[in-house]
Amino acid sequence: MAVKKRKKDLHFFERIYLVEIIKGLLLTLKHLFKPKFTLQYPEEKIEQAPSYRGRPVLVMDNGKERCVACGLCSRVCPALAIQVQASETEDEKERYPVLFEINMLRCIFCGFCEEVCPEEAIVMSKDYELVFTRYDDAIFGKDKLLVPVEKLKDRLEFVRTQMRK
């Protein structure tokens, strides 16, 4: 029976391994001295791109939230993480949320709330470090959700240009 030939038969130097092994060793030796990729996490952090979806936050304009408490975000949220309670206000927008809570244990960072919001009042931030020691701590109220608009500029820019809202 004829010996079945493989598509790519190894030639002699490949078959005695030694040459190939030395090639491999030289390659790893090269990597030994290359600069490393590792990021020393707690000390160094990545500056996330504007497209990054961290925890959702409420945009704070002139010390007040932009939200008009329409409840769309709460409605669209697939994880049922948002709770909004509306009330009236003397301001131009007439309505505001007395209570706005996001349960961060439920949120799946899908970004639907941001997409549906008519006022650009809720956006995804770059904040990904979410640690709680109690269940209660995981429910973020307005105190934790409100972030000044200056800090969210590039995300708002991204939402306008890239998502074509």
Partner 1 sequence: MVVLIPLAKIAIAISILLFIVTYLVYFERKISAWIQDRIGPNRVGPYGLLQSPADVLKLFFKEDIVPSAATKFVHSLAPVISLTVAMSTYAVIPFGPDIEIFGQKVRLIVADVDVGILFILAFASIGVYGLTLSGWASNNKYSLLGGLRSSAQMISYELSMGISVVGVLILAGSLRIYDIINSQQGWMWNAFIQPIGFITFVVAAFAETNRLPFDLPEAEPELVGGYHTEYSSLKFAMFFLAEYANMIIASCLITTLYLGGWHLPFIDSATLSYGLMPLISVMIFVAKVLFLLFFFIWVRWSIPRFRYDQLMNLGWKVMLPLSLLNLMWVALLVYFFKI
Asked if 121 interacts with ligand SF4 (CB under 6 A), we say yes
**Residue 98 structure tokens:** 């007395």
Asked if 152 interacts with ligand SF4 (CB under 6 A), we say no
Rounded alpha-carbon distances, angstroms, from residue 59 to 13, 52, 62, 64, 132: 66, 17, 10, 8, 23
**Residue 78 structure tokens:** 């697939």
Rounded alpha-carbon distances, angstroms, from residue 126 to 62, 72, 119, 130: 21, 23, 20, 11
Among 57, 122, 123, 159, binds ligand SF4 (CB under 6 A): 122
Select the binding partner of residue 29 from ligand SF4, partner 1, none (C-beta < 5 to 8 A, by kind). Answer: partner 1
**58, 156 Cβ separation under 8 angstroms:** no
Select the binding partner of residue 133 from ligand SF4, partner 1, none (C-beta < 5 to 8 A, by kind). Answer: none
Which range binds ligand SF4 by CB under 6 A, 21-29, 39-47, 76-84, 150-158? 76-84
User: Per-residue string for binding with partner 1, 25-44, x by CB under 8 A?
Assistant: x-xxx-xxxxxxxx-x----
What is the closest distance, in whole angstroms, from the C-beta atom of residue 132 to partner 1 in the complex? 25
> In angstroms, rounded to a whole number, what is the distance separating the alpha carbons of residues 137 and 107?
14
Q: How many CA atoms lie within 13 A of 60 on its CB side?
A: 12
> In angstroms, rounded to a whole number, what is the distance separating the alpha carbons of residues 74 and 80?
7
Give residues in contact with ligand SF4 (CB under 6 A). Answer: 56, 67-73, 76-79, 81-82, 84, 102, 107-113, 116-117, 119, 121-122
Residues interacting with partner 1, by CB under 8 A?
18, 21, 24-25, 27-29, 31-38, 40
